[in-house]
Structure 1
């Protein structure tokens, strides 16, 4: 049933609860959207977000806020457990909730937009975020002054002050207590509809993340995505250096698949992907033209540029330079080693492969006079006798190699009688 219009009440029955104790990412936003839809479709009295987050992506935060504002089911944010925080994006989500409760020892605020490494994103971004926070506080009749200060000045406060200033509605030690304290509160839903919360004593139904979503959330990290891309590139590079179905190829393929999962949930720039492809091409070129390592060094430079442009920094996502630079250097070194490996393999085969033929026996496939042809080790060889004429199908022994010609001696079958016979 969800919510009803015109001040009617949601029957006291059950509430759907999601636990978000991680950074706010597109994975979290998708999870909140799906569980909120479930709460609406299945007629829960409310949807509860148990929140403990240091913040996250601004775009994902906005998606969650929009879902809350458009919800036909009341959304309650409960900042818990004790010691938890609703920081940055989490603070804005808490402001957007129809009801907000915090556990003892928790805090809220510090919502100044910053990049993944804490760098300032500029006054324009800060002012935009502050305007949104103030608008949400005004909509939910919360403290507008604090909403602006937590964005512009990075202000953060504890639960006691948050309740006193009207930033959140109450403090509660348990989820059951939180539901009891917001019970009877009138809230406004989408479409100017109002309802009264009937959550005291409601049955609590927890919604699990699921294994796939947990893996996606773990991979939703720009530094991890970059490292997986590098590992995948190296795996494929070494597989090309020593062809075959080997460990390097398997590791590379798996790493690239995991990297694609990461890229699917992060704001990726096409320019960064193009630079990665160029870098990969330069490293492959190093395999076929290993010399002064020019291709490998060039690939390393392009890798650093790819790290800079791979993600949308305006959304606070980028690869940490302390990850990008050492990784690029390591990839260059390993690419040079791979190039030398290919070089030695090619020249080593040419040198040792022919020498390994000496002393081996084979059967002539064709013969005329003292010359013939032998198929050996997957290749056709010219043969020249060192001891008389040759015959087709005759067994010979290789005694030397002259270019692409094998010098052979005919093997005479042993025709002596067995011991004891005349």
Structure 2
């Protein structure tokens, strides 16, 4: 009796047929197919956002270290390679560690400020000259003498061996630092003796975004009329030369796979892309250095990637972080948006990392639509790129930032 009841209950138990299970699996498969691109894009956006924030934190850490240690600390954007694609991309940052300033090898080493201006012909009265050079005794500053020899010989490949290089900062009385423009000496190939005087040129004027100069270095004391203007000597002053920081072997940041800093569209100012490779010049582009001073401000940045020259930034620094597949090689269409190939400047998934040189503040900002096509899309240095870059940076210029969490 009980066995028959159990058999009846088993027969009446509800269940799904094979056809019903196949229909459900088919519906789930269709939903997954529809949702997969959205989920994939969401994960990709999160990866780019996190990479941008990590890069901003890394740059800000260098700024904080410069303030805490009262020295010059920077960040280097290493290029991926020397090929047409590698010169346009960076996937690793390296911190630049400051080294002690150079004050000469003797206790009484001084700099004698002077003005190397062209004399005003009489009868016009000479205007107060601008201080733009300093003389150093070679015996007191042998590193300057050695640097002059290496920088002015016939082999430019050994310029990087100079202990003091162009772009290093000369700090004068009052704490003002200016980039070094040239280092020369009074030595000639026919002289039997080594050089005795080393002359360093600089510019006390600081250009700004409006191409106006600030802080002009006018001489205020009376001019000695008995001396020619070309050698107008001033009182000796103490000095410090801040050599560019050296790369750290341990403090680095590698971007996640599929993300890169696109240097084709990175640069200084609302329309600048000075970090892009110079495809017309034929010279390989080097790394990009950004250096903070002990106050937390950006004191110098690479202004010429072909020569490695450093200078004062005349505007905000913009770094384009995007998909590594969107990095276009030299000679390609850098503004393309066809099929599966989308340049990073045309993608709203790209992100701006913006550095304010005055305060050193680093923010992460979204991209805006760039609709104005350049007339030379294969040459990022062409002036026609200005409107497209300005449009893409419009949200960043309006102080728009990404949320604190993706």
Q: TM-score, normalised by structure 2?
A: 0.24
Give the number of the structure whose residues are more often helix, by fraction.
1
Answer with 1 or 2: which has the greater Rg: 1
Give the number of the structure whose residues are more often strand, by fraction.
2
Bigger relative contact order (CA 8 A; separation at least 6)? 2
